[in-house]
Amino acid sequence: MNSNNLFIKFYKSKIFWPLISLIVLLLFNFIMTPSFLKISMKDGHLFGNTIDILNRAAPLIIISLGMTLVIATQGIDISVGSIIAISAAMSATVIVGGGSVPIAVIVGIICGIICGAWNGLLVSYIGVQPMVGTLILYIVGRGIAQLITGGQILTFTHKGFIFIGTGYILLPVAIFITAIIGIIMYFLIRRTSLGLFIESIGVNSNSCKYAGIQSKKIVFLLYVICGLLAGVAGIILCSNIKSADANNVGLWLELDAILATVIGGTSMSGGRFYLGGTVVGALFIQTLTTTIYSLGVPPEITLVVKAIVVIVVCTIQTPQFKKMINTKKVTISNNNVKEGEAAKA
């Protein structure tokens, strides 16, 4: 009985369908390629497709966590891709200029914080709509990154800095960084009152003022956190490709971050949010991308295939679809009862 209750509770949770979709996608890959889930040990490191998925999904998971907090307050940040470019450009400039790894990391993170503070200032204190406020940095950000790099692709060979994005300690370093950030975010949101404040602002920001919640400060803080996480993602991506490409690094990643948040069960209208669902959503997107490439889908229709799968997953999560499924279950149950009564008669 207890196990049934647990399953029903899990079935009704927001993470059920995203997790099932991820599992189905992994099983599909396993059927198509039996060695897909195989993990091997080479030179003291774990290798395999699943490890690669986790590694490549790390930057997306990081910025998606920040995006989740912003969306939970009925906001949005479409500038995270540009913040990644700025952070990568600054960190690479420090490394190319002979700076140390700690300084490069700190500079990249500070850039993310400054960009997040700019977005937070526009949205929370000046009152600019989130889409418009973050659109400014979305447009200007890559231009700023190009000014920093002088319009060139900065390349570097600093082993210490490259280790952040390509190094291994049994698992890729990027996975450990993502795990640490995820744990910090969980305790910050679920073990302090901040999570409650975020949900309250998302439900009704006007009522929060009468409840004594300083919504402007909290929204400002969330955009700063989002910018900080984008800065961290920029450092990982920069060190992974051993260069800072202002035009392409983090390109369209903001759209995947929004998509991962929505797939994970967080509503764009604000209110309750699900960090675990966001992580699953990001892993689903990266697994889907890996699957498409492994199947040899032509590049010109890759985005179409990706869009179709995402539409199906999002449709399954809608209340209308769940209501339709529950209605069918009730109908089937009633028919079985009537058949049973007729047989007894």
Mean predicted lDDT score pLDDT of the chain: 88
The percent of residues above 70 in pLDDT, for the chain, comes to 92
Average pLDDT over residues 58-80: 95
Residue 340 has pLDDT above 70, yes or no: no
Residue 174 to residue 128: CA distance in whole angstroms: 35
Examine the pLDDT at 341 and tell me if it is beyond 80. Answer: no
List phi, psi (to 5°) of 127: 90, 20
pLDDT single digits (tens) 168-224: 999 999 999 999 999 999 999 988 889 999 999 988 877 887 778 889 999 999 999
Give 14's DSSP letter: T
Confidence band of 128 (pLDDT split at 50, 70, 90)? very high
Kindly state the helix (H) or strand (E) to which residue 10 belongs, with its residue range: helix 2-12
Higher pLDDT, 128 or 21: 128
pLDDT reported for residue 210:
76
Which tens digit of pLDDT belongs to each residue from 285-312? 999 888 888 888 787 777 787 778 778 7
* CA dihedral for 75, 247, 310, 112, sign (positive or negative): negative
DSSP 236-303: HHHHHHTEE-TTTTTTTHHHHHHHHHHHTT--TT-S---HHHHHHHHHHHHHHHHHHHHTT--HHHHH
Q: What is the pLDDT of residue 61?
A: 97
Q: Which of 51-60, 316-325, 333-342 has the highest mean pLDDT?
A: 51-60
Among 68, 53, 114, 108, CA closest to 84 = 108
Residue 117 reports pLDDT greater than 80: yes
Please give the average per-residue pLDDT across 249-256, as a whole number.
Answer: 90
Residue 34 confidence (pLDDT): 87
What pLDDT, on a 0 to 100 scale, did the predictor assign at position 120?
A: 96
pLDDT for the residue numbered 344 = 57
